[in-house]
Amino acid sequence: MNLILVSRCLLGEPVRYDASPKTLEHPLLNRWRDEQRLVPICPELAGGLPCPRPAAEVAQGRGDRVIDGQASVLCRDGSDVTDAFIAGAEIALAQCRRQQIRFALLKARSPSCGSQDGYDGSFSGTLAEQGVGVTAALLSRHGIKVFDESQLEQLAAELDRD
């Protein structure tokens, strides 16, 4: 049975930068929970950041460039949290390898977890065109299929096909 790596905040845990959850209520998620497929992770906490913590963004939203050492993850005050973001992404990848996880359901628009979009680094609420979070980018690069909470049906279809 395929396991699914899932953002802890989507599971109702208050782990976001402002110590709030982003609870996702959906019958598919309930089914996967009942099937014991869900493997929770918060890459930012796993990487050593506290909760609460300052909000952070990636320049142009490009987490893939962070992995390549070409961009940083910065807080609004300019403090650099790149190392913690990369550490969290590597821990998420190690977890996937350990449990042979090939699918992830990660929170949209997060500088770690976002897979379809992300904020552009200006802290103005502007989305970047090719935005992707650091963890989502690293997992995708290693063949793990990453979905966000707007794509539950697509994830279900992939699981059925597999």
Q: How many residues bind ligand SF4 (CB under 6 A)?
A: 12
- Cα distance between residue 104 and residue 116, in whole Å: 13
Tell me the window of 8-16, 24-32, 53-61, 117-125 that interacts with ligand SF4 (CB under 6 A).
8-16
Q: How far apart are the first and last CA of the chain?
A: 10
Does 16 bind ligand SF4 (CB under 6 A)? Our answer is yes
Considering only residues 24 to 43 of the shown chain, the ones binding ligand SF4 according to CB under 6 A are 42-43
Tell me the window of 61-69, 75-83, 105-113, 143-151 that interacts with ligand SF4 (CB under 6 A).
105-113
**Could you please report the per-residue DSSP string of 100-141?**
T--EEE--TT-TTT-SS-EE-SSSSSPEETT-B-HHHHHHHH
Residues near ligand SF4 (CB under 6 A): 7-9, 15-16, 42-44, 107, 110, 112-113
